[in-house]
Amino acid sequence: MEDVTTIRQHRKLSRWELFIRILSLTFGAALVSVALEIFLVPNNIIDGGITGISIILSHETAWPLGIFLSLLNLPFLFLGYKQIGKTFAISTLFAVLLMSIGTTLLIPVQPLTLDPLLSAVFGGIILGAGVGLVIRSGGSLDGTEIVAILISKKTPFSVGEIVMFINIFILGSASFVFGFDHAMYSLIAYYIAIKVIDITIEGLDQSKSVWIISEKNEEIGKALTQRLGRGATFLKGEGAYTGNGKKVIFTVINRLEEAKLKSIVDDWDPNAFLAIGNIHDVKGGRFKKKDIH
């Protein structure tokens, strides 16, 4: 059994890293506050998760939205601390409190538009950007995913499926509170927010992993370096049926380079096996793009 004294301690953030994290959490929470109070709430448009429930309860009780955002998220902060860790819980608490304070301070501010479609579109964009920034900074603004993680461990459903079911129920409830039209606008805002969250977390320049098996592996590898400016790695493989040894080319590209890569492979071997998949993050290694002269 490994001695606990040999376990490497979690690296502490530098002052600069801590400042950047706090700034990102603050800016993300501020964006969400603006999206809610300046666009969505005045037009009776809700978001999914705890935020959507809070908007409905605030509408029905006339209590400030910030109160429900704080109170309803508190139990999930405890669950998040148990399931994910102290840093996540502290970051989430900080962001949720800022969001709650921000929505309260913005109550007197007049909405920029009372057009529900414009509110759904721009509110969804700003909301997604804010939530994405908070997630990238190691926090969260909604406890729905924490609940989904716990439920998924005891059911055959994935976290994404559980979150979707919960949000469909919450967004469907908006039709009884605000009317069917506003429920549909809420779906538009929710869909846009989800897409913007993905872009904010993963970036516009999403990376793709590429696996190539070909008899022309040497030529394709050199072409990737010379024509695409990408490094490549040869991995040793073996055919399951024939038992013959094979070289597998592995590289990382962005989505704008996908068409050119396929063209390079087709030029050398139209029958090559090619598999391309999305990856969220790349760090280290020799896959950084080189300048092509």
Q: Which of 249, 256, 253 is nearest to 277 (CA)?
A: 253
User: In terms of C-beta density within 10 A (0-12 exposed, 13-18 middle, 19 or more buried), how is residue 239 classed?
Assistant: exposed
Mean residue pLDDT across the chain: 84
Residue of 50 and 237 predicted with greater confidence: 50
Question: Which residues on neighbouring strands pair with residue 278, listed in sequence order?
Answer: 208
Integer Rg of the chain from CA = 24
Question: What is residue 287's predicted lDDT score, i.e. its pLDDT?
Answer: 53
Question: What is residue 11's predicted lDDT score, i.e. its pLDDT?
Answer: 57
pLDDT band at residue 201 under the 50/70/90 scheme: confident
Q: Which of 129, 149, 276 is nearest to 197 (CA)?
A: 129
- Residue-range domains of the chain with CATH: 14-202 (no CATH), 207-279 (3.30.70.120)
Highest mean pLDDT among 15-24, 74-83, 162-171 belongs to 15-24
pTM over 0.75: no
Largest CA distance in the chain: 73
Q: What is the 3-state secondary structure (H, E, C) of 81-136?
A: HHHCCHHHHHHHHHHHHHHHHHHHHCCCCCCCCCCHHHHHHHHHHHHHHHHHHHHH
Asked whether residue 290 carries a pLDDT value surpassing 60, the answer given is no
Whether the CB-CB separation of 73 and 139 falls below 8 Å is answered with no
Asked whether residue 110 carries a pLDDT value surpassing 80, the answer given is yes
pLDDT band at residue 168 under the 50/70/90 scheme: confident
- What whole-number distance in Å separates Cα of residue 121 and Cα of residue 104? 23
pLDDT band at residue 204 under the 50/70/90 scheme: low
- What whole-number distance in Å separates Cα of residue 92 and Cα of residue 76? 10
Asked whether residue 25 carries a pLDDT value surpassing 90, the answer given is yes
Using one digit for the tens of pLDDT, what is the confidence trace for 27-37?
999 999 999 99
